Amino acid sequence: MNQRSFFLFIVVLLCSNIISGQYEIKPEIINYPKNIYNAEGQNWSVTQDENNVLYFGNNKGLLVFNGEEWKTYSLPKQQIVRGVSADGRGKIYTGGFGEVGYWQKNLYGGYHYHSLDNLITDTLFPNEEIWKIIATPDEALFQSFSRLYLLRNNRIKTIVPPGVVMFPFRVRDRFYVNVLNKGIFTIDENGDFVAVSSDSAVNSVYFILPYGSNEMLVGTEKNGIFIFDGKNYRPFPCADDAYLKTNEINNGTWINDNLLAIGTISGGLLLMDAQGKTVGKIDRNSGLENNTVLNIFKDADGNCWLALDKGIAQIVLNSNISYFRDLQGKVGTVYSIAIFQNYLYAATNHGLFRAPFTSLEAFDENALTRFGGMTGQVWDLKVIDHQLFCGNNKSTVLINRNNVRTLFDSSAGWDIEPLKNNPGILLEGTYNGVAVYKKTGGQWMFSNIISGTDNMPVNKLRIDKSGLIWIKHAYKGVFVFQPSKDFTGIVAIKELDKASGAPRDNNFSFYENEKNGNVLANSEAGIFDYDFSTNTLHRLDSLKKDLGEYFYSRTIIPDSGKGFWFINNDDGVVYKDNQAPNAVSFTFNSKIFALVSGFENIIPYSSSQSFICGEEGFAVINRNRYRSSAASIPTIMEIDIFDKGHYHVIDSSYFDGTDKIVLPYKQNGLIIHFSSLNYAANVSYSYSLSKDDNAVWSEWTHTSFKDFPNLSPGNYTFRLKTNLSDDTITFFIVINSPWYWSVWSKIMYVLLFALIILLAVRWHRHRLAKQQLLLTKRMKEEVALQRQKSENEILRLKEAQLSEEVVHKSEDLAKLAMDLIKKKNVLKKFKDNLDSLKKFSSTDEIHSQIQRLSKSLDKHVKDEETEWHLFDNGFNKVHEEFFDKLLQTYPELTAQDLRLAAYLKMNLSTKEIAPLLNISTRGVEIKRYRLRKKIQLEEHENLNDFMIKFMNM
């Protein structure tokens, strides 16, 4: 800070003090006990790296905090880490008993320790304990009580001081060291001690800080604070000098050019300006967990971190939210706040409280005291017509200075509103309906309860520009009614939940646009305009373009016509200025503040400040105040992968650049840890994991990690955003296919598939050829068989034909034989006649002629046996089975019997048979008789019929 700036600052500070009285800083205090960070209670030092990650020297080791998660890393021999310092280039130096080294973070992994013990040749080092470290990008200084170790150019020089070393400090790029009872020394370029001051009064120095342009501020343990100009010391004009001497200074640092933080052994933290004026005191009484401050560190956001003898504390000095907490529990839950006649009034569940109020900076919440004897629930406070109206669980009263006048004591008052077109009438929602107040003779008086609202608990009420009255029933939702002209009754009333166009599970609320007087309905389904005449809701999608996701807010609160507050959860609120394109988020510290669910209330205070009611006190949001530099892009802190049944931190072998990892299929489960590196606000995260460009975002969550087990092979895009910013980070994840589904495997599968197809085609062709050959063979065999069958059939047919021809010829032959036999008989008779004629012929010539004729006839007669054989063969051809069956049945038959049977079958008479057998008819009869005996034929049976029918028997 140059002298001109310093002078201007002092002028402004003095003016502000004159205007507003004594200024006091009331920072937000966030305690982290050991059960939160899971390490030992005692913490010795604090530092922060270039990525805003915080590191603490703890009795258990190095404690790392990224705003979301705590992790502890131990030194090789589990030593206490008292000193810790970041060099701004990724190295975190730590020291312990006989140990110095640095930690480096692996990309998306844990921290790896590198010991520097091998660079130290001092034989006493193994018995030295490192208490403090000062690191820069080019060098690091390690301090024990008897040695200093200076690291430069990868070499460590041991510096032996002329006495017991207290602590080193770095001021304006130079190291300063207090040697006990010998003054202050500096370390030159060669690493040697050079005396700066030997004033014994300035001893046990616990901080040396730059002051002004070229002076230094020196804080001692018990002698107070001095200003050193390089030659002489003079006391620093500290308003609380006695307090510091009594409680013993332990450390100190500049928070900004005009804010000094001093930690003590037993008095907590003292905040003072550059002139020594105390502007804040933080100890156990104000919420600090422990009064012993072992180290102070100013973070990148200008806030303060304390390493305590018991725990860790964050002192939020730069925040856009100031908290006024009810630490004693006397005030309770705040429902409403009003500034009236230089008092701040708070309506709470414990009653009505007030305290003097001139400005927020000078306001002391501890000064709130009960007012008017009101206890129990006090719901509403509103300044109307320059008077303060207060609704409580018993009545509605008017407050003026110290006077309280009851207006209505028959019902509790919830929400009171004036009529815009008739300033002489007020309407109030009460436990038992809508109450009417009228101004008569300059005094407000209760008039009546509007008939039709009797016994309706109305906890919220608004009046739109048309005169319709919107009320919220405590249990049944939102109603809109048209009052009578005299406000004594209702002309018409309609229920919003039953309106046409109402969404399911709407849970409606409503708000008045103070700019135009129109009342709109809102729910998580969106914002709706309402037509009372048709009882119809119309969603105003035209607002979605401006409001985005806040179009679906559960609660909307106007801000004096300048903008709107949106509430979707208990983590914070969002403000949208009517003149600004973007909404701004304000997140709460959930450890010390929470909204009153169902009774959220934000009350304007100034053009940029608003009161917001909470469960244990209230807060003030300053829309133009400091915003954290860390509230921007979230960061992936660590990635754990699943392998062999458990998760372990990823290593560099999985990286493909800085924003992509490639995982084998067997390690396809991972946990992604992330943070916004914001230490002053509760951050909500939303993430997306997709295989394409269409991001499907998750619900908002406070959880700072997400596990993705059993991811299928493919390329994924992980996206992450916070509720503090619209910025999004993108990270790429590749899950390789299993070995049996890799690129080469797929190529092998394609080749194998092609080979299988080729073999299958060949096999199929071979099979077809074989089948075709077999079929051809079968067809040839079938053709041959068919041909053989055909030939056989032809032969059979020919044989049958020949047989038939033979039969016919045999029959013809038989007939011929019969004819011959007949002719023979004729010739025989003729011969007989000739023979007889010869007896009577007288001439020789006749005799001779007859003799020749007789010889010729004898020749024909001699051929009788041949003719018989011819007949017999012909008969057998015709009746080939007759003789066989006859002999099988009657084997004693002779050839003569068979011949007689054949003639009988031919149905020849005895006379016809006699010449054929060349016997007489008597001889035929005898043969017939003998044949009957042999075949045992009954007397009444005819032998001829028997032979004819024999084959059919």
CA of residue 530 relative to chain centroid, distance? 38
Q: For all residues of the chain together, what is the average pLDDT?
A: 86
Q: Using a pLDDT cut of 70, give the percent of the chain over it.
A: 88
The rounded distance, in Å, linking the Cα atoms of 274 and 254 is 9
* Cβ proximity of 72 and 63 under 8 Å: yes
- For residue 882, what pLDDT is reported? 79
* Cβ proximity of 480 and 469 under 8 Å: yes
The rounded distance, in Å, linking the Cα atoms of 660 and 736 is 13
- For residue 4, what pLDDT is reported? 36
Rg (CA), the chain: 64
Q: How many residues does the chain have?
A: 953
8-state DSSP, 782: H
pLDDT digit string, tens, across residues 119-156: 999 999 999 999 999 999 999 999 999 999 999 999 99
- For residue 6, what pLDDT is reported? 35
Strand extents, DSSP E, 606-700: 609-614, 617-622, 635-643, 646-649, 660-663, 670-675, 685-690
Query: Residue ranges of the alpha helices (H) in 841-907?
Result: 844-862, 864-878, 882-889, 895-905
pLDDT digit string, tens, across residues 165-188: 989 999 999 999 999 988 899 998
- For residue 610, what pLDDT is reported? 93
Q: How wide is the angle at C-alpha 419 spanned by C-alphas 417 and 420, nearest 5°?
A: 115
User: Average of pLDDT values for 255-279?
Assistant: 94
8-state DSSP, 648: E
The pTM of the full predicted model, rounded to 2 decimals, is 0.70
Assign 3-state DSSP to the chain and report helix, strand, coil percentages, each to 5. 25, 40, 35
The SS3 of residue 519 is: strand
Residue with tokens 């971190």: 305
The SS3 of residue 815 is: helix
Question: Which residues neighbour 188 within 8 Å (Cβ) at sequence distance 6 or greater?
Answer: 194
Give the helix/strand (H/E) hosting 602: strand 602-604
- For residue 11, what pLDDT is reported? 34
The rounded distance, in Å, linking the Cα atoms of 902 and 878 is 11
Q: Using a pLDDT cut of 90, give the percent of the chain over it.
A: 49
CA of residue 487 relative to chain centroid, distance? 55
The SS3 of residue 262 is: strand
pLDDT digit string, tens, across residues 37-77: 999 999 999 999 999 999 999 999 999 999 899 999 999 99
Least confident of 309-323, 383-397, 936-950: 936-950
8-state DSSP, 55: E
**Residue 638 main-chain phi, psi, to 5 deg:** -155, 150
* Cβ proximity of 259 and 286 under 8 Å: no
The rounded distance, in Å, linking the Cα atoms of 694 and 66 is 30
**Side chain identity at 96, as an amino acid letter?**
G
- Of 295, 211, 213, 219, give the one whose Cα is nearest residue 258: 211
Query: Residue ranges of the alpha helices (H) in 424-515?
Result: none
Residue with tokens 């008779």: 829
- Of 594, 335, 558, 598, give the one whose Cα is nearest residue 475: 598
- For residue 639, what pLDDT is reported? 92
pLDDT digit string, tens, across residues 858-906: 665 555 555 556 566 666 665 667 788 888 888 888 888 888 888 888 7
